[in-house]
Each structure stands twice: as structure tokens, then as C-alpha cells.
Structure 1
Amino acid sequence: MGVIRFIPVTEINDPLTLSIGLSGGSGTGKTYTALLMARGIAEVVTGKPGAPIGYVDTENRRALHYKAAFPEMMHFDFAAVDDKGSVVGFGPERWIEVIDAAEEAGLPVLILDSFSHAWEGVGGVLDLHATTLDRLTRGDDSKKDQRSQLAWAEVKPRYRRLIDRIVRAKTNIIICTRAKPVMQDFKTKLNARTTKTRRKDVPWDPAADGDLMFEMTTMVILDPVAPGCPVHQIKVADQFKALLNPRQPMGAETGRKMAEWAKGQGDAQAQKETLDLARAKARKGKDAFATWWNSDEGKLARPVARTIMDELQAIASQAERDTVHNDDDPFAGRGSAFDEDEAGDSMTPEQRAEYEAAIANLSKSA
């Protein structure tokens, strides 16, 4: 058995790597934003301007439209067809080879655009699943529902190895994916149907798997109404919340600040501590939070705390509800444990349906 050693964090000085996801429809500025952010990251990693940016281009060399603005770009034309005209597709193993090559070349940052091909392109995950399913059913459509999970069991581990390769990459990676508009409910203006990759308040559905989206250091969806701006912030660590303004385009400075955090520099950790302090104050209720907000300490914290104001308001409101009860009567002011409002606080629509069905069955049996 090998020797397992737990290392004190004070001995670990290697910089962290970033994995940034940018998703959006056509005209949202994914490519240009990725290049700007990559420039900032590369300059911090290497300590010099004009550091190389690796670019994996699946879009018929579209990135070359920006070669005059980004002469430091190191371009790779990643096509579904090889030089001999044979279809090789966008299978997981090819993407792993690309990341391996970028590390061997010593590139400080790598852009994958568009990584949607790994999911829905020729030889991508969905294509591999369909091909595997055809083989397992031998053309018998009546067996497809039965064998679908078996097909996924063959394909998903290959894709999961690719995701793991991205997470463990020794170079910084920016992943661009396409997004499609989502049908919304006319009355509520929310998405008619939520999925693992689709939040009810975000009208875009990334052409990617949820495993990828939530493995990212940062994942945002861009919107055509504000190109380059992180309008829909799907996953953003506290350290980066103050960097990402939904009304301000991301750029080289955004990349620099993120890279400085990864190197253990900058003020991202201090910003996280400020957000944690604001949350602690909000847990004391609305009045206590308002008093702190108007104090000298609160005024200094405002620029950072405003980035999570909706969350702080929700915490303070919940704190008010939690304190409206008499210690001698644990149910006073709280209502029944089965009140709709109380039960609905933590229930998904599916859980709500199951809950109501269970209550109906109890009523019938009674």
C-alpha cells in the first residue's frame, strides 16, 4: 500500500487553476469576451503582456476574425473531419488529447469554443448515445426506452473522464457553449419546465450537460440584450461576485482579478469575508441588519454586499419569521407544520405534487 501524506496547506504554494464557463446564444459576445478574459489570465500567469492564448476552434476558424486584435492567439482548427476527409467527430477522447497538448505546450490559458460540439456535435455524447442505442436494440424501436439507460452507462463514463480532465487541468480553461431560448409561461414569465441545466428564472438552456456546468469555477450565461455581460450568474463563488456586474461587460481586468485570486493574491478572499459578515448581520433580522448597514462598518461593506442584496433580504426576512414565536409554545406564530406556505418553503413542484397526493390518500383512508 502506498504512503498517504496529508500536506499542511502552508506548504502548498502552487497556484490554483480556473475553469470558466461562458454560455449564450448568437450575438452575446462569447468569443470576444473569452479572448479578453484569457488575455488578462495569461498576463497574470506569465507576468508579461502578450502571453500566448490557446484557442480550440470548432466553428470553421471563426476565431480568426479576431486575429488582428489578438495576435497572441495560438489557434487550433478542431474539425469533425481529418485531413484525409474521414469523419473523426468530437468524441470525449479527442478533447482530452487537446488539453494534453495545451499543457505540453505550456499554454497559460486555453479556450474551448464551442464545447457544445462535445455534447451535441458529430461524435459527441448525444450522437454516441444514439449510435450505442441502435447497436443495443439492433434497429428495434420498441426496445429503445428499455435499453436507453444501458446506452448511457456506456457513454457517460467516457464523458465523465473528459469533465474530470478539465477539472484537473494544469492550465486555465475557458469553455464556451451555445445556449437556446427556453419556452416561458405566459403568466408567470418563468420557464415552463425546469431541468438539471435550466433554472426557472433564466430564459436560456445551455447546450451542455449539468455535470459540466456545476464543475466550473464560474459559470455565467450571456444575453443578447447585454453582450459580454454576466447577466445570468449560474455559479459564482463569493470571491468573484464583486467582479461580475450583470450590467458591465467582462474583460481583461476580470481575467486578471480571477487569476490573481488563483495565485493567492488580490482581495477576493477579503470580499468573501465581507459577504459572510453581511450574511451574519442579516440573520439577526431586518432591523438589526438595517442598523449595521447604516453604521460605519456597513457603509464600507456596501459596494461588495450589494452584489448579494437579494440573498441578504431573503435571509433577513426568514430571520423575522423564525423569531415570531413564543418559546413556551413552539407552534405559536408559526402555523401548522403542514401549512401550505411553511411546507412550500423547501418543496420543489415535484415534491409538492407528491405531498398533496399523500394528503389526499390519507383523507380517503380516513
Structure 2
Amino acid sequence: MRSHVPLLVGLTGPSGSGKTFTALRIATGIQTVTGGDIYFIDTESRRALHYADRFKFKHVPFDAPFGSLDYLEALQFCVGRGAGVVIVDSMSHEHEGPGGMVDLHDAILDRMAGDDWKKRDKMTMLAWSEPKQKRRRLINGILQLNANFVFCFRAKNTSKPVKGANGKTEVEQMGFMPIAGEEFVYEQTLNALLYPGANGVPTWEPEGVGEKTMVKLPRQFRALARRPGPLDEEVGMKMAQWAAGDDAAVDEGGDEGRAVSDMGEAHNDSEEGDTSPSAMKARELIAKAEAVRSDFDLEALEKEAAPHLEFMADDWAAKVAAAIEAARPVSADQGE
């Protein structure tokens, strides 16, 4: 029987979508069921204090550096002092903020290759090893903490070049994508997308190719897709009741919402069933690695893979890295 399952709620959206206010509403609802204090880890220049008159929470200002393990230390600090719910706004600094994952990668690359740009290209993938290991320690650490979490992710409207049916390069609109590693999204119990000006009203069936993979609404919460208005205290309360073992709290109509993206089902646990952006790009890169026939091919592949590995889920990134490494001796032999 399910009992006291921690909730990890993700809110993804650009500035002005209502993430901060919505996070406080959801956390307040969760607190009515679980008890404990609400702690707010604030990386956004004390923005949470704009709502201090309306919501009761303990404010934890969090400044740079924004390393993965710095985030883990802040979370452990809150839970160690009795937090029942921890809000993090914004989690995106862990990725692109000062001292974050991208900064760490660049610093390691500087140490390994300096200003030798050819060497930097070759070492780029290796330089991601330490940042990714630290992020995995953060995620594993979060999963060990006995509390509920609401993570706010900044989002940006993105696109990527793809080859069309006619063989020409076309631009595919990905939509608003979280500034974070996919690993975080996969670990969320629920991940909501808030468009600009949404004021906390989620979009559960977005149009963007990337957005479809980032929205996560598992079966037990599909009634939310039919619920009008913003995510609020009642939503937080019902999710917490479900997490405490009350299935009736959120079951309001069976499976009518099956069209809504459920990453746990739509992507399947098997590699063959995984249609996430990480999986699709990884398969493409692995196929190219298997076709490498020269040092020139290998160098071109490494340049292509480097920016994608930054955002790719750990398991797929490891597969791509292994495929490229396996191609290296073949290309070297043929290049002699």
C-alpha cells in the first residue's frame, strides 16, 4: 500500500508565467496534508519576498556559486530543519548560472586544453564527466530526502535544424523547453508547462515537439487536465492526499485524459520505446559513430555531439560517448 510518497513537482515556464506564485500555492496545499514548514530557496534576488504577506514560508536566499552540490547542501539544510515542503526558484541556475554545470564544464576544459581549440574540441565530451557526476549526486541526494519539493525551471523558446523529406534542412520548433537537464524532468512526479502570461494556468497538451516530451501528467493526476483555472492550493492538497495513500483524492473520471503526455508510459522503459529528444538524437549520433571511417569523420562527429551531450539524459549520453570511443581506434587505423 502506498504511504507517504514524496512529491516532486516541476513548474516550467518563461518569465511572467506565474511560476513563483503558483509554487507557493501548491506548496501551501501540500502543507495542509503533510505538515512541516515551507522553505523557499530563492536564487532570484529575493523575489519570493514579494509574496511574504500572503504566504507563510521560511526564506533561504541562495547566491552563486550554483553548483549541483551547492544546491544539494541547501536542500539538506532545509530538510534538516524540519521542512515539509521545499520550493526551489530557480533550479535553472544549476545548469547555466555562475558556478553551475556549464561553468564547471568550461573551467575543466580550460584546465585540460587551455586555448588549444583543436584540443578543446577533442576534450569537450570528456570534460562533461565531472559535471554530470555531480548532477547525478544531486538527483540521488534529492531522492533520499524525506520531504516534498516544488522545482521552478526557467524556459526558453527553442528550435533545431532537421532534415526534411526533400533532404533540405528545415527548422523544427521545439517550443518552450526547460533550462535544465532532462534528468530532472524525468524524476518529477508531475511537470507542468506555463506559457507566458499564463498566471499559473498549465498547458497539458502543447503543440511544440519538445514541449510534448517535457510535460508530465501521470495517470493518477489526469483529472487535472480537465480542471479549469490555475494550479492552486487545492491541487497541492489533492496530490499530497494521493501521496499519503488516498486514491480517491485525484481520481475524477478514469482515463479520458489518455492523450495527455505521460512520460512514464508514452516513452516506455525500453530503449526501443523511448521517444524522448535525448533518445532520438542519441540514436542518430550512435549510427554516425558506427559509420566513422576516418579521423575527419570522427572529429566532425565529436563537434556535432558536444552541444547535445550537455542536455542529454545521462544514460543516453553514456551510450553516445561509448559509441564514439569505440569508433576511435577504427578511424585511427584507417587514417594511417
Same fold (TM over 0.5): yes
Q: What is the DSSP-based 3-state SS (H/G/I as helix, E as strand, rest coil) of the residue aligned with 1:236?
A: coil
Q: What is the DSSP-based 3-state SS (H/G/I as helix, E as strand, rest coil) of the residue aligned with 1:248?
A: coil
Name the counterpart of 1:40: 29
Match of 1:78 among 46, 62, 85: 62
Name the counterpart of 1:204: 176
Name the counterpart of 1:252: 233
Q: 1:246 to 1:226 in 2, by over 3 A?
A: farther
Deviation at 1:98, TM superposition (A): 1.1
Q: How far apart in 2 are the matches of 1:91 and 1:349?
A: 27
Query: Is the Cα–Cα contact under 8 Å of residues 44 and 259 in structure 1 kept in the other structure?
Result: yes
Matches within 5 A, 1:119-138: 119-138=95-114
Q: What is the DSSP-based 3-state SS (H/G/I as helix, E as strand, rest coil) of the residue aligned with 1:93?
A: helix
1:68 paired with 2:53, answer yes
RMSD: 2.9
Query: Is the Cα–Cα contact under 8 Å of residues 238 and 250 in structure 2 kept in the other structure?
Result: no
Q: How far apart in 2 are the matches of 1:24 and 1:244?
A: 17
Name the counterpart of 1:280: none
Q: How far apart in 2 are the matches of 1:65 and 1:310?
A: 34
Higher strand share: 2
Larger RCO (alpha carbons 8 Å, 6+ apart): 2
Q: 1:151 to 1:66 in 2, by over 3 A?
A: same
Q: 1:124 to 1:310 in 2, by over 3 A?
A: closer
Name the counterpart of 1:340: none
Q: 1:137 to 1:232 in 2, by over 3 A?
A: farther
Q: Which runs of 5+ in 1 are unaligned?
A: 1-9, 81-88, 194-199, 272-302, 312-346, 356-366
1:21 paired with 2:5, answer no
Name the counterpart of 1:320: none
Q: How far apart in 1 are the matches of 2:148 and 2:258?
A: 27
What do the CA deviations read for 1:270-290 (whole angstroms, capped 9, x no partner)? Answer: 56xxxxxxxxxxxxxxxxxxx
Q: How far apart in 2 are the matches of 1:159 and 1:215?
A: 13
Query: Is the Cα–Cα contact under 8 Å of residues 84 and 148 in structure 2 kept in the other structure?
Result: yes
The 10-residue stretch of structure 1 (227-236 or 133-142) with the greater mean CA deviation from structure 2: 227-236
What do the CA deviations read for 1:275-329 (whole angstroms, capped 9, x no partner)? Answer: xxxxxxxxxxxxxxxxxxxxxxxxxxxx443322578xxxxxxxxxxxxxxxxxx
1:305 paired with 2:290, answer no
What do the CA deviations read for 1:82-137 (whole angstroms, capped 9, x no partner)? Answer: xxxxxxx1111111111111111111100000011011000000110011011110
Q: 1:163 to 1:192 in 2, by over 3 A?
A: farther
Q: What is the DSSP-based 3-state SS (H/G/I as helix, E as strand, rest coil) of the residue aligned with 1:21?
A: strand
Q: Which runs of 5+ in 2 are unaligned?
A: 165-169, 206-214, 262-278, 288-336
- The residue type equivalent to 2:180 in the other structure is A
Match of 1:263 among 225, 244, 250: 244
Deviation at 1:269, TM superposition (A): 7.6
Q: What is the DSSP-based 3-state SS (H/G/I as helix, E as strand, rest coil) of the residue aligned with 1:249?
A: coil
Deviation at 1:164, TM superposition (A): 1.3
1:152 paired with 2:131, answer no
What do the CA deviations read for 1:121-169 (whole angstroms, capped 9, x no partner)? Answer: 0000011001101111022111112101111112210111001112222
Query: Is the Cα–Cα contact under 8 Å of residues 21 and 175 in structure 1 kept in the other structure?
Result: yes
Larger Rg: 1
Q: What is the DSSP-based 3-state SS (H/G/I as helix, E as strand, rest coil) of the residue aligned with 1:17?
A: coil
